[in-house]
Amino acid sequence: MIIQALAFYLFAGVLVAAAVMVIAARNPVHSVLYLILCFFNAGGLFVLLGAEFLAMLLVVVYVGAVAVLFLFVVMMLDVNLTELRQGFLHYLPIGGLIGLILAIELLVVLGAWAFAPDAASLRAAPTPDPATIDNTRALGLILYDDYVYLFQISGLVLLVAMIGAIVLTLRERAGVRRQVVSAQIGRRREQTIEIRKVKPGQGV
């Protein structure tokens, strides 16, 4: 129990510190790297809870695909941090007003929050017995039987995010030559080949 407690505090402490650095780091590439560290530590917490499938899902899917995709998108966008900081003081009053509104909303929610006495009986999916069904099968039954529509909607959200990242990287830039496939396929032989007769001792 002592080893599990120490592992929990280690994973949780690093997770909270990395989450703070995700929003506090000035370099967006560093923010993505801290996000990857968050995923690894969250996977460690899932292993301690006995949800090994969720832990592997975080490491394989989120770190191996989503976070790396974020990293490539941030690097391809070539964000100019100097230009981003130029308008900071101009939008500071609006940002402060929005932050104040969010703080008031949080205070209202926390002030009206109360723990339901019958919350334990309202659980939609109780934890299955590991002796009868494993964690992966139980999670699959819950996702594809009870929450299949929400699962599909989350896939559509990721699809929209991927399309948005592609659109952002395909913006027009000055001095960048792009490949036009239709022009390459539709060109004729006389447009690409020129036959010249070169005399001996002379160049083209």
Max mean pLDDT among 3-7, 63-67, 114-118 falls in 3-7
Question: Do the beta carbons of residue 55 and residue 43 sit within 8 Å?
Answer: yes
pLDDT bin (cut points 50, 70, 90) of residue 53 is confident
Q: Is the model's pLDDT at 6 over the cut of 70?
A: yes
Residue type, 152: Q
Q: What is the average pLDDT across 102-122? A: 74
Return d(Cα 31, Cα 23) in angstroms, integer.
Answer: 7
| Average predicted confidence (pLDDT) for the chain | 80
pLDDT, one tens digit per residue, over 150-203 is: 889 999 998 998 898 788 777 666 777 777 788 888 888 777 787 778 888 776
List the one residue out of 83, 77, 73 whose CA is nearest residue 35. Answer: 73
